[in-house]
A and B are shown apart, each in its own frame.
Chain A
Amino acid sequence: MSDFRVPAGDPDGLRSVVTRLSRLSETVGETRSSRLRSAGQDAAAGLPAARVAAFAGARSDASKATGAIGLSLVAVGGALVDYADALQTAQQAVRDAAARYDDAQELWRQARRMGEPELTERYRQDMDRQARRAGTAQADLATARQRTAAALNDETEVWAPGAGSLAPVEAWQRATAAMLPPTASIDPQKLKELFSNPDVTLARETATNAVKGAAKSYALYGIVNYARSPALSARAEAKLLKARDLYQSLKGGAPDLDDPATYRKYIKAERAMLKAYMSDNPADVMRAQRHFRMLRGMQGEARALANVARAHPALTPAQIRGTAGRFDKLMRPVRAAGPVVARVMGPVSVAVGGYDIYTAATDSGMATDDRWARGVGGAASVVGGVATTLVAVGLVSNPVGLAVVAVAGVVAVGAWAYENREAIAAGAGKIAAGAKKVWKGLFG
C-alpha cells in the first residue's frame, strides 16, 4: 500500500534550535571552562595547602564536566541536523512522488477511458514507480530516525544512565543526581519545579537558591566519591553478567537470524553485552585509578604512577592511568605545580591550623560553638598539612594516608563547619573522630 503521507516536522525549526545549541556549546565548553580555569587558578594560589588538593579535585571535576557538556551539546546538535536533513529530503521526495502519482493516475484514467491498453499499462507502471519512490523516502527517513534516536539516547546515557526511555524531567533529575553524591543532592521536588517552570526569572531564582543550598553539603564530595567506587564497580559487573547471560542464552539456542524479530533481539543483546563490557571496570582498577588521580596532584605523574603500581602490581600503567578524559591535558599545568605547592604549603597549613586550635582553646570571648568549630577546622588543617607534606615528599602514598588528606581536606575546604556550625555539628563531630582514628593508626 502506498504511503504518500508527508512526514510531520519542521526541518528549519530544528536547524534553528541547532544554531542556538551551537552557541550554547561554545559558551559552556569554552567561555565557562576558561573562566573556571582562571578563577580556579586564582583561588588555588590563595589557598592554604590543606585546601588545595580537595579544591583542585573538585575544580578538575567541574572543568571536565563543562568541556564534556560542550561536546555533548555538539553531539545532540549533530543528531538533530542529521534528522532535519533527512526529514526535509523525505518531505520533498514524498510531496514530489505524490504529485507525479496523481498526474500518472489521471493519465491512466484517460487512457483506460480511451481504450489504450499500452498507455494504460505505461501509466500504471508510472504510478507504481512513484509509490515506490514514496516508500523509499519513508524508509530512508525511518533509517535516519533510528540513527538519530540512537545518538540522542547515547547522549542521555552519558549524563543520566538508563533515562533514555523516561520522561525528560526524570532525565533532568537523574543527570543531576548522577553527578552529585547524595549528601549534595538537590531536593527532587525543587528540580521538578525548576524543569516545569516556564517563567525564566522565577526559574533562575529557584535554581540559584537550590544550587546554593546543595553546595553547602558538598563538603563530603571527595570522600564519598572515593568510598563509592567499589559499589559502582560492583553494579557495573552485575550489569555485565546479566547482559552476557542473556546474550549467551540467545546464542546457545542457535537463533534463526533470518527472522527479523530474532535478529533484532540478538543484535540488541549483543550490543547490551558489549556496552556493559566496555563500561566494566573491576573494583581494584577503579581504586587504583582514583588513588593515582589523588596522588599525582601532589607527587607528579611519574612518582604517583610508580607508587600506585607498587600497591597494585597486577595492573598495567595504562590501567592505572585509566580513561583520564578528553580534557585531561587542560589540568596538566595545575598538576605540574601541585607537588611544589604541596611541599611549600603543607607546613604553612600546620601553622595556620595550630593557630586556629590555639585561639579556640584560649579565646573565651568566642561563643562555645564558634570555638568548637574553629578547633575542628584547625585540627583538620594541621592533619591535612602534615599529611600533604608527607605525601609530597613521598613518605606516605597508601590509602590510609590518602584518607587523612581526604578527611582533612574535606573538612577544611568546605569549612562549612565555620559558617553552618549548628546544622552540621553532629556530622562534623563524627568526621573529627574519624580523623583522630586515622591519625592514631598512622602515627601512633
Chain B
Amino acid sequence: MSGPGPGTPPPTSEPLLRVEDLHVSFATEEGVVKAVDGVSFDLAAGEVLAVVGESGSGKSVTAMTLLGLTRSSNAKFEGAAHYKGTELIEASEEQLRRVRGAEIAMIFQDPMTSLNPVHKIGDQIIEQIQEHEGLPDQQARERVVELLDKVGIPRARERVDNYPYEFSGGMRQRVMIALALSCDPSVLIADEPTTALDVTIQAQILERIRELRRETGAAVIVVTHDLGVVADIADRIVVMYAGRIVEEGTLDEIFYDPKHPYTWGLLGSITRVDRPRPERLPAIAGLPPSLADRPEGCHFRPRCPHEFAQCTQVPPLESRGDERSEHRDRCWLTGEQKRELREVRPGEIGLEDKAGAGAG
C-alpha cells in the first residue's frame, strides 16, 4: 500500500476516486506481461487528471481496468480502486454495470471503430440512457437530441437517425462524447480522445471537453501520449513509464520543474512552431522496454543518459524536493543534480500561453 506519501497533509475531503497499488498482468505468448505495476492516485471531484506515457506504459490499461474492461481469463488484478463506496477492481459484473456509463463514462481513442456500424447513433445513445434510467423512448430521444446539440452536432434532430458511417471522424468523436455524457457521469475517462483526429479537429474536441466539464462539473481523466493535449486542460499530471508512475504533480510542476529524466524527454518532444527550431531536440534515445522483460531497478535505466550505480534499485515514488509537496518522482538523482542535468529549460518549453500549445 503506497497511498499518499508520508509528507502529505491528510486530504481535507475524501477523493472521488482513489486508486491504490493497482497491479494488472496478462498471460500472453511471450510470457506474463505486467502492464500495470503498483499504480496509485487520487482523483478529486471536478478535477482534470492527465495520465501521460508512451504506448505500452500501461496508461490505457489502468484506465480501462477501472471499468473492468480489461477483465479476461488471462488477466490478473491486484490492488483496489474506491469510487463512492464501491471497490471497482473486485466488484461483481452486476455492480460494475451500474457504474459503467452512469457514474464513470468513457471516451475511446478511435471514433471510427468505437460505434457499432449497424445501429443508428441515436439508438446507441438511447440504449445507454434506458439501461440506467429506464426512460420511455420519446423522452430518451429528446435527451439525445439535446446532447447532440450540446456537443456541437448541427441539425441534431435529423442526425439522430444517421448511421456512424455518415459522420466524419471529428463528428463521431462528438457523438462519443454525447454518449459519455448522456447519464451525467461524475467521472469521464477519455482514452486518447484526440489521437485519431486531425489537428484542427483535436483542438475543437478538447475545447468541447473543457467546456462540458465546466458545465457538468465532472472529474476527467485524460489518457494520452501527447503532452500538448495535457497542457490544454489538465490540473494534475501523472507520468507513467513501463507500468509505473515515474512522476506526478500539478500541471505547472510538471511543465516548469520536471524531475524525472523521462519527463524531460517527453517535454522535449513537443515542438513549438512559434520558436526557431533548436539544433537538436532533446528526445529520448532507445525504445521502451518489452513489458514481458523489463530491466531491473529503474525501468528507464537503459535509455537514461544519467544512469548511475543506484539505479539498479527501484527508486520509490516520493517527493525529493526541498519543499514537502505532492510533486513526486521516481528518480535517485538529487533535486540539485536534476536542475543541473535537465536539458529542457522552462524557457525552451515554456507554456506561458496555455491555449496555444494544443492547437499548435
Is B truly associated with A?
no
